[in-house]
Amino acid sequence: MNYTKLSITSVILAGVLAGTAGYAATGEHPGTPEEEMRYKGAPVPIDPGAAKEQLTPGAPAISEDEFARAKTIFFERCAGCHGVLRKGATGKPLTPDITLPKGTEYLKAFIGYGSPGGMPNFGSSGELAQKDVDLMARYLQHEPPVPPEYGMKEIRDSWKVLVPVNKRPKKQENKYNLKNVFSVTLRDTGEVAIIDGDSKKIINIVKTGYAVHISRMSTSGRYLYVIGRDAKINLIDLWMKTPDNVAEIKVGMEARSVETSKYKGYEDTYAIAGSYWPPQYTIMKGDTLEPLKIVATRGMTVDTQEYHPEPRVAAIVGSHEKPEFIVNVKETGKILMVNYSDLENLQVTTVNAARYLHDGGWDSSLRYFLTAANKSNKIAVVDSKTSKLEALVDVGQIPHPGRGANFKDSKYGPVWATSHLGDDTISLIGTDPKGHKKNAWKVVRTLKGQGGGSLFIKTHPKSSHLYVDTPLNPDSAVSQSVAVFDLKNIDKPYTVLPIADWAKLGEGPKRVVQPEFNAKGDEVWFSVWSGAKQESAIVVVDDKTLKLKNVIKDKRLVTPTGKFNVYNTMHDVY
């Protein structure tokens, strides 16, 4: 990319942002690992055309066509970091009160060359043409276009019961061992593959929303809930002769999380989904997805006490101690304990944690919820029995545990582990305040893995191994393999399993992602995730021997990512 036409001032500014002008031209980001860069900025599945345009007096001229193009670029490349309203998330705020004083030349340098704080070098890398860099510099000085709200009318209009409850099976009509069935996300086709874990055969390919983020089970194990990034939820009845959709609903324009009621007496009664846009959560009937209650999450942040208009709902878990959903609100750093025993008089306990809350899971007792505040480099611990914050634990750079991993350390007792996006460490946190009080809510051991870029870590109560993936690591040898630690000899060097090599695929990135155990705990499944037009696979490993057991290949397995075993998901086994 040729930037010789930039003013001397712009080049100097780019150098200041980057550390030196020479650094800027390389596109490197000191202090920001490439694996973190790979994680940021996923496209926002909101139609840019639905966002209302607002021109700002005093801002640079921009035509209607240019504004429309800039909206699309921002939603596809920038909103994941900076937020739809540009108020800041993992990226800095980019509202006109900040951008107008900077001016077009400064912003062109910033967009073109990036920054050491993690801003990609869109210009010098060639990702954006010079005219688009100029366009985005002008666009960012105008008020951000606001997508429409999505309330009860819109949600109810999207709601469909495809098979009424009274027309559904009274008992299981198929002969599958449902405890060992897997729901596998097919990211780029908007589907999930329902796979029989015993035979390794695909039972059905079910149409869903775009890029399913998570699959959750009803407490009974009958109903499977999946939610796409486009906020569409599908309810799948596993009792049908061929499991398929029985209801669907769209709870917003972008979302990540769905969960079901688990407390005794409320099994299968309610479902909840959290939205990125609008920032809210929706409570529904468990067997039909009928929407019952919508609650907004806009409010003040836990640290600076500033109002945030776009606090997205991240992970949600169902409490085993009370009739409560535990809801992570990312940008405000608050954890909400939502009591569903009386929806008309909803009681919500707010627990102040840290920004920016993302994913997490239970300790082995199912009492304590441990969740990543990823940009704060902390794990927040909530006691679901008292509905209070137990601790904030400092860990490595950008923890990303998935649900985490529980096991008993030979020296420190019960621990929960997280890996990290930003470094190669695995943090082990003590979780037994009664039996091992001095170790509780502290990092008792730090392991070194293959590298940064980890998304998931996994073990099983019947396993003596800990599996750590690294799909976002820039080294293909690392992203295409997994590290395995021997829990009986935790200080020993890890073993590397060449999962992608075992799959014997053709060209493609072949990122190995998300270990998931079968119901018995003697097999581990891995997705080998390539491009939408390239062959992917699922590799099954024998947990006892760490040898290849099966490779599942099928032309319908397009971009497989997350996998969720029915039994383990029902019982929060990880």
Give the pLDDT confidence score for residue 33 in this predicted structure: 67
Give the pLDDT confidence score for residue 389 in this predicted structure: 98
From 297, 351, 363, select the one nearest 324 (Cα to Cα): 351
92: confidence class by pLDDT, cuts 50, 70, 90: confident
Q: Any idea which of 35-44, 285-294, 491-500 has the lowest mean pLDDT?
A: 35-44
121: confidence class by pLDDT, cuts 50, 70, 90: confident
For tokens 């057991």, the residue is 549
Give the pLDDT confidence score for residue 260 in this predicted structure: 98
Q: What is the mean pLDDT of residues 74-96?
A: 89
Q: What is the mean pLDDT of residues 444-467?
A: 97
Give the pLDDT confidence score for residue 88 in this predicted structure: 82
Give the pLDDT confidence score for residue 31 in this predicted structure: 55
Strand order in the sheet with 560-565: 202-207, 191-196, 181-186, 560-565
Q: Long-range contacts for 361-364 (Cβ within 8 Å, ≥24 apart)?
A: 361/317, 361/401, 361/402, 361/403, 361/404, 361/416, 361/572, 361/574, 362/317, 362/320, 362/403, 362/406, 362/572, 363/406, 363/414, 363/416, 363/431, 364/406, 364/414, 364/416, 364/431, 364/461
Task: Dump pLDDT digits (tens) for 1-33.
Answer: 333 333 333 333 333 333 323 333 334 454 566
From 334, 350, 278, 336, select the one nearest 309 (Cα to Cα): 278
d(CA 526, CA 560): 9
Q: What is the mean pLDDT of residues 483-506?
A: 97
Say yes or no to pLDDT of 330 above 90.
yes
Task: Dump pLDDT digits (tens) for 549-562.
Answer: 999 999 999 999 99
117: confidence class by pLDDT, cuts 50, 70, 90: low
Say yes or no to pLDDT of 333 above 50.
yes
Give the pLDDT confidence score for residue 74 in this predicted structure: 94
d(CA 192, CA 190): 7
Task: Dump pLDDT digits (tens) for 345-378.
Answer: 999 999 999 999 999 999 999 999 999 999 899 9
Give the pLDDT confidence score for residue 446 in this predicted structure: 98
Give the pLDDT confidence score for residue 58 in this predicted structure: 92
Give the pLDDT confidence score for residue 20 in this predicted structure: 28
CB 100 within 8 A of CB 141: yes
d(CA 61, CA 67): 10
Residues with a catalytic annotation lie at: 78, 81-82, 119, 358, 400
Return the beta strands (E) in 238-377 as ranges: 244-250, 254-260, 270-277, 280-285, 291-296, 299-300, 307-308, 313-318, 324-329, 334-339, 347-352, 357-362, 368-373
448: confidence class by pLDDT, cuts 50, 70, 90: very high
